[in-house]
Amino acid sequence: MISFSLSLSQFVCVRLAFIALVFSFFVKNVNRSTLFGRAWDIAFYLLVLTIGLSYSEDRILGLSVLETNFSFFALPIIFSKVEDFDKEKLYQIFYTFALGVLVASLMSLINAFLKFSQNHDVHVFFFYQLTDLIDFQPTYFGYYIIFSILFGLYLLYFDEPEIGSRWLLSLSLLFLFLMLMLTGGLTLFMSILFVLSFFLLKFFVEEKSPARKLGFVIAVLMLAGMFLFSSIYKKMDNQYSKITDYWERMALWESAIKANPNVLLGVGTGDYKKELNQFYTSHQMQTYANESYNSHNQFIQILFSNGAIGLLSVLFLLGRPLYLSVINQNVLGALTFFPFLIYGMTEVFLGRFQGVVFFALLHQIFMTFYTNTSSTAKSL
């Protein structure tokens, strides 16, 4: 239920996670892998944030950062109660998650049509106005959609679904791609391009089954759609910046780097906002200060707030499941975590609950699968 509610309601998802955590304390650990073995990188990351709180002046904001990262604490404990976490259980969670994304997307699109019928404003179909019903930052919702598309294409290429399921899956993928384009997530284009490129190249080097041919056609249609929507956005001139997430981020990256007084420790878990806003103000970037922008780069942001130690913790957090996916020849795992390197270049994906819980859920799903000694096959 946590994975289903994730796209629909942050309010519900948080409470379900808390309830599951409470109940998990009354359930015996049945997972054969150790909690530390699956989550030592998470423990290191949370320790860095906690230490960063100790030298922060703004303890309230620092505590809110720790609260945002609650999923990193709760999910490893919850997953420690899952016995024999195998491919079937992994697929069940992903199916449930993708269903939640489909429902949230359908609700958002219907709501957009209803608003358009009242005000005839085309902007209701794009970016913030598109996802305001589910109270979701559209770029983060784009992350969810990309993963759902990835999982669907993976099923077509590797699981050979029956013909009825195949066509239902194909229609769902095309609908999700349309929603991805409407989110205005131009900074997500590189991530979906990486996913599509993998499946297009794979089609030419392996046996061409009917399901893979269908997946290839869908990938080609998506690739063409990307260029079509990109050209449409560029032609909208003065409306362009209003309906997409594209804008120049270089100034923010440079500001966070130059404002960092301590490369080793950073400014502190709770002081990043105050210190960065002061830098904006003193360098005539008042618009950024008024909006209280972060650096819009996960790696620069953690370097600014928690220094080189913090950056190391995030690299462990992201690099460990990616490394294990590669050495276990787990295509789905590698394709899941590699896009986070791209996300991290344009967004602070661990800066919102929506990003934290998504990454924490994927992290624990794959880490539990890899470290569970009862799993006989590590590759999917």
Report the pLDDT value the prediction gives residue 21, as an integer from 0 to 100: 85
Q: Point out the least confidently predicted range of 199-213, 245-259, 277-291.
A: 245-259
Indicate the angle between helix axes 353-371 and 87-119, nearest 10 degrees: 160
Report the pLDDT value the prediction gives residue 376, as an integer from 0 to 100: 46
Does residue 316 surpass a pLDDT of 90? yes
Average pLDDT over residues 339-343: 92
Q: Point out the least confidently predicted range of 6-15, 184-193, 233-242.
A: 233-242
Q: Residues with Cβ < 8 Å from 346, sequence gap 6 or more?
A: 187, 249, 296, 297
Report the pLDDT value the prediction gives residue 374, as an integer from 0 to 100: 45
Please give the C-alpha separations between residue 33 and each of 38, 91, 115, 373, in angstroms, as whole numbers. 7, 20, 50, 6
What's the CA gap between 75 and 293, in Å, rounded? 29
Does residue 123 surpass a pLDDT of 70? yes
Q: Point out the least confidently predicted range of 10-19, 300-309, 311-320.
A: 10-19
Most confident of 38-42, 137-141, 282-286, 300-304: 300-304
For the CA atoms of the chain, what is the radius of gyration?
21
Average pLDDT over residues 20-37: 73
Average pLDDT over residues 248-271: 92
- Please give the sequence-ordered ranges of beta strands (E in DSSP) within the chain, or none if there are none: none
pLDDT tier for residue 192 given thresholds of 50, 70 and 90: very high
CA angle 324, 186, 365 (to 5 degrees): 25
Average pLDDT over residues 4-8: 86
Q: Which two tokens stand for residue 19?
A: 């309830």
Does residue 239 surpass a pLDDT of 60? no
Report the pLDDT value the prediction gives residue 32, as an integer from 0 to 100: 52
Average pLDDT over residues 325-340: 94
What's the CA gap between 98 and 176, in Å, rounded? 10
For residue 284, what is the DSSP state?
A: T
Does residue 375 surpass a pLDDT of 60? no
Average pLDDT over residues 34-48: 89
pLDDT tier for residue 153 given thresholds of 50, 70 and 90: very high
Does residue 232 surpass a pLDDT of 90? no
Mean pLDDT of the chain: 89
Does residue 110 surpass a pLDDT of 90? yes
Q: Residues with Cβ < 8 Å from 89, sequence gap 6 or more?
A: 82
pLDDT tier for residue 4 given thresholds of 50, 70 and 90: confident
Report the pLDDT value the prediction gives residue 242, as an integer from 0 to 100: 56
pTM for this entry: 0.91
Of the two residues 10 and 175, the one the predictor is more confident about is 175
- Please count the other Cβ atoms lying within 10 Å of the Cβ belonging to residue 145: 28
Does residue 240 surpass a pLDDT of 50? no
Average pLDDT over residues 104-121: 94
Report the pLDDT value the prediction gives residue 82, as an integer from 0 to 100: 81
Report the pLDDT value the prediction gives residue 198, as an integer from 0 to 100: 94
